[in-house]
Amino acid sequence: MKFSIVFLAFLLNMSIYCIFSIKCKSWLNILTPMFILSMPTLYIFEMFYLYHNVDPLSEIGYCIVYLVYTLPVLFFSIGYMYVAPLKTLVLIKSTTASTTKPALVFLFFAVFLYLPVMKEFAGDLLSPRAIYTATRSGFGLSYYGSAVACYIFLILALFNSSWGTPLKTIAVLFSSFFAFIHGSKGQVMTILFVVLVYFICTSTRKLKFWVASVIVVIFGVVGATAFYSSVKGVEIEDLILVMAGYSDYTRNAVMLIDSSRGFEFGKIFFEDNFFSRIPRAFYPDKPKDFGSFALALQYFPDSFYRDAGVPSFGVGAFYADVGLLVIPLSTIAGFIGGMSSRTLIARLRMYGNPGDFILLCYLIGIVLIPIGVGNLLPEHIVLAFFVYIISRKKFTDLKMKNDGCSPINSMKV
């Protein structure tokens, strides 16, 4: 029964993607990154796990979780396809300047911030997963700050109209290598997703199904390779089963639903969003068992005390706060996300400002500030506004001037 629930949700999501692609007349579209991120971990691996293992969790728990997975995607698509871009926001005019200098400044800070980590773990640079494990605590500013600076460098490089394809390719390759030596497969994939979303937003080409399929396969191979390089003693033929075991977000969420624990009424959300924003360097006594980490301490104490990463509860953490309200709240968020994404893409195709791109990445699930927990929309808004300012040409005329900075495309998206 649980396998059937996941399979039906998978079919529904794929139907949504097909209808969306036909409507957009391109099989590579804004839903593609979202589906590459979610389909393996939430659907394919979960079906593989349920097929090979006896799962004691409840069917009702699976129904709740997969409603939370599916309804936001459906209403995101509806909001994107059937709600026109908000003209009030689209017509806030902007012209993008050369981003060479700010890009190089962010490149400098990316390397500079990571120097203490490279110095401390110089012997592990060829096996960076050890660095990732050892820097879970105490190196937050250096580790995560350098990652964010690297992402912004890449985005500014991609939107730099004075850089040709060779320079942009070098920027992508360097960013990928720099993410690799952080030891996080997630950061490497984020670099690739940034490049993919940039292509989707700036290209007007309508790609056929087979082209999109090749791109999806490439992402799958890179993701599997990155995962395989981070685990030891696993045979290639057992890789999918091991990946299915690691993709435990759904099972952990269902476990919380089945536990019948009392609701926290926003406590987990508050602590995740308060304590995660305070660097341990500024607050040495910051508790480690705040918010969703308190759930990890309760359900996975061994992983918590090893301080080498704890299992994620996914949407279960939200359910632990508000119960079944998580279904309508996530659905509303999906609809707003779809409307906002269409407006941002319209702005990107008109003005090409990287600040809009940062917000779009967050709305489709690509987090550029990888601090682990909490809702990072405020930080992404601040970061987007900062990048918007430093990459914007100064002009005083409220009307768009014909100065070579005309819109990339019309508002039609």
Q: What is the pLDDT of residue 408?
A: 40
pLDDT digits (tens, 9 = 90+) for 306-350: 665 677 788 888 888 888 899 999 999 999 999 999 999 988 888
133: exposed, middle or buried (Cβ count in 10 Å: 0-12, 13-18, 19+): middle
Which value, in Å, is the radius of gyration of the alpha carbons in the chain?
A: 22
Mean pLDDT, all residues of the chain: 81
Q: What do you get for the CA distance between the two ends of the chain, in Å?
A: 40
pLDDT digits (tens, 9 = 90+) for 163-193: 888 999 999 999 998 888 877 778 888 999 9
Q: What is the pLDDT of residue 409?
A: 43
Q: What is the pLDDT of residue 393?
A: 65
pLDDT at 396 over 70: no
Top-confidence residue, 411 or 17: 17
What is the CB neighbour count within 10 angstroms for residue 168? 17
Closest CA to 371 of 41, 147, 125: 147
Q: What is the pLDDT of residue 123?
A: 61
The single-letter code of the amino acid at 125 is L
Residue 161, classed as helix, strand or coil, is coil
* Backbone phi, psi, residue 30, to 5°: -65, -20
| Residues 349, 199: Cα–Cα separation, whole Å | 11
pLDDT at 138 over 80: no
| Residues 396, 387: Cα–Cα separation, whole Å | 20
- The pLDDT-based confidence of 363 (bands split at 50, 70, 90) is very high
Exposure string of 57-88, with b = 16+ CB inside 10 Å and e = fewer, is beeebbbbbbbbbbbbbbbbbbbbeeeebeee
Residue whose tokens read 């969003």: 273
Cβ 41 vs Cβ 88: under 8 Å: no
- DSSP one-letter string for 184-217: -HHHHHHHHHHHHHHHHHH------HHHHHHHHH
Residue 19, classed as helix, strand or coil, is helix
- The pLDDT-based confidence of 205 (bands split at 50, 70, 90) is confident
* Backbone phi, psi, residue 51, to 5°: -70, -35
Percent of the chain residues past pLDDT 70, beyond the cut: 81
pLDDT digits (tens, 9 = 90+) for 207-241: 888 888 888 888 888 777 766 666 666 666 566 76
Q: What is the pLDDT of residue 161?
A: 83
The single-letter code of the amino acid at 116 is P
Residue 334, classed as helix, strand or coil, is helix
Cβ 108 vs Cβ 164: under 8 Å: no
Kindly state the tokens that stand for 228: 């395989």
| Residues 281, 283: Cα–Cα separation, whole Å | 6
- pTM confidence score: 0.82
* Backbone phi, psi, residue 308, to 5°: -125, 30
Q: How many degrees, rounded to 5, is the angle at CA 389 between CA 387 and CA 390?
A: 65
404: exposed, middle or buried (Cβ count in 10 Å: 0-12, 13-18, 19+): exposed
pLDDT digits (tens, 9 = 90+) for 227-277: 666 666 666 656 676 676 667 888 888 888 888 777 778 788 888 877 777
Residue 139, classed as helix, strand or coil, is coil
- DSSP one-letter string for 396-409: --SSPP-SS---SS
Kindly state the tokens that stand for 195: 């490049």
